[in-house]
Amino acid sequence: MSMTIEEMIKKQQEYFAAGKTYELAQRIQALNRLEQGILNCEQELYAALKKDLGKSRAESYMCEVGLMLSELRFVKKHVRKWSREKRVPTPLAQFHARSFTVQEPYGVVLVMSPWNYPVLLTLEPLIGALAAGNCCVLKPSAYSPATSAVMKKMIADVFPEEYVTVIEGGREENQNLLSQKFDYIFFTGGVQVGKMVMEKAAANLTPVTLELGGKSPCIIDKSANLKMTAKRLAFGKYLNCGQTCVAPDYVLVHEAVKEEFLKLLKSEIRAMYGEDPLKNPDYGKMINRKHFDRVLGLMKEEKLILGGENDTESLRIAPAVMDQVTEDDAVMQEEIFGPLLPILTVGSMEEAIAFVNRRPKPLALYLFTENRETEKNVLEYTSFGGGCINDTIIHLATSQWDLAASETVEWALIMERKVLRPSAMRKAS
C-alpha cells in the first residue's frame, strides 16, 4: 500500500535527518544515477512530450532533455568547488580567529513544475536540490500526464521514495502538498498560483523561489538587421507554440521599419513552418482545449494579418500575427502563452522604453538594434529578469551566470539581470 503525502514527507524528513544525503560523494553519486536514469528513459520522454505537447524529437532534445543534461553535467563539474568552506575576512580585533561560511542543504524540498516544459522544469530544480544534499518531492503538472508518468517511473527506478519521489495529480494534491511543512519550495508557473504558493509558504515561514510569467516585450529599433530580427523573433515566439514563459509576448517596432519587418516576418514564419503549419508534423499543439479556446479568444479577425487557422481536434493554432494592436486590446491585458504575436508601432526608442516601464516588470526583454547608444539606454532605463540583444530566448541556455553571481548550490533565483549579446552573430542572417 502506497504512503500518504503526509507519511511520505515524514519519511523524507527522517531520511534527511539521518544524514544520508549530506556527503559530497553521495551527492555526486545521486547526480550520476539521475543522469543514467534520464538516458535510460530518453526515448520514453520523447514519446511522452510528443503526446502531451506535440513536440518533435529535435525540439524535445534541444529545449528539454539536452538542455537539462547539459545543466546536470555543469553542476557535477562544479559541485566540489561550491561545497567548500568559503574563507571571509576576520577583523583585526579578532586576531588569531578564522572566519568562514559553510554550505548546508535546506532539508526536504518541494518542486512544483509547469506543463509547458515538463521535463526541463521538473528535473532541473531537482539537480540543484540533489547537488546541495536535499531530499525532494516533485509535483509535475496534471496537464502533461504522459510526461509525468514517465518521470515518476524513472525516479522510482533511480531513488528510494524517502529520498526523491514524484506525486501525480491535480488541484487536490497541490493543496495537500502546500498545507505541509517543507524546508524550501520551488515553484514555476502562473502569477495567480504563485501568490497562493507564497501565502501557504508564509504560514510556515518556508523560503520560496517563484519563477512566474509576464508579458515580455521585443523592441525593434530602426537600425536593426531586419532579416535576422524576423528569423530569431519567429523562432523564439513560436517555439513550443508560444507556450514558453520567456517567449516574446508583443513587439514594439519603430514606424520607419515596420512594413519591411512585417514582410520579412511573414516570410520567415512560412519558411519555418510551411504554407500550412497545421499539416507540419513537427509543429506542436496547445496543451488542452481550455488554453486553445483562450488563445483564439484573444484574436481579433480584423487585426489578423497572418495565420490563426486552427483545428479543434488536434488543438493546433497556426502561427498568427496581429497588427495595429493598441494597449487597450484584450491581447495586451494578459500573458498570451500561445502562437499569437501582437505588433505595436512606436515613433522612437524613448516611446518604447516608456511603454515597457508603465507596465509590470517583464520576465524577459529582447532588443534588436545595431546602435550601441540605443542598447545602452534600453539596458539602463528598463528593468527585467533576463534577455538578449539581437536574439531571443537563448540566454536561458547559459549556465555560467550562476557561477558569476553565486557559488552556492541553493538553486535560488539570482536577483541580477542576465543579458546575452551574441556579438559574434550580429551580422548573421
Active site residues: 211, 245
Sign of CA dihedral 164, 169, 174, 175: negative
Separation CA 377–CA 382 (nearest Å): 8
b (16+ CB within 10 A) / e for 58-91: ebbbebbbebbbebbeebbebbeebbeeeeeeee
Q: Are 353 and 369 in contact (CB under 8 A)?
A: no
* Terminal CA-CA length for the chain: 59
Q: Give the 3-state secondary structure percentages of the chain, helix then strand then coil, rounded to 5.
A: 45, 15, 35
Taking Cα atoms as reference points, which of 409, 413, 427 lies closest to residue 127?
409
The grid coordinates of residue 140 equal 509535475
Separation CA 157–CA 113 (nearest Å): 20
Separation CA 319–CA 304 (nearest Å): 11
User: Which SS3 state, helix, strand or coil, does residue 386 take?
Assistant: strand
b (16+ CB within 10 A) / e for 166-182: bbeeeeeebeebbebeb
The DSSP result for 56-115, as a single string, is -HHHHIIIIIHHHHHHHHHHHHHHHHHTS-EEE---GGGTT--EEE-----SEEEEE--S
Taking Cα atoms as reference points, which of 324, 335, 268, 274 lies closest to residue 300?
324
Non-local (6+) Cβ contacts of 255 within 8 A are: 345, 346, 347
Separation CA 27–CA 289 (nearest Å): 41
Radius of gyration in angstroms for the set of CA atoms belonging to the chain, rounded to a whole number: 23
The grid coordinates of residue 421 equal 549579446
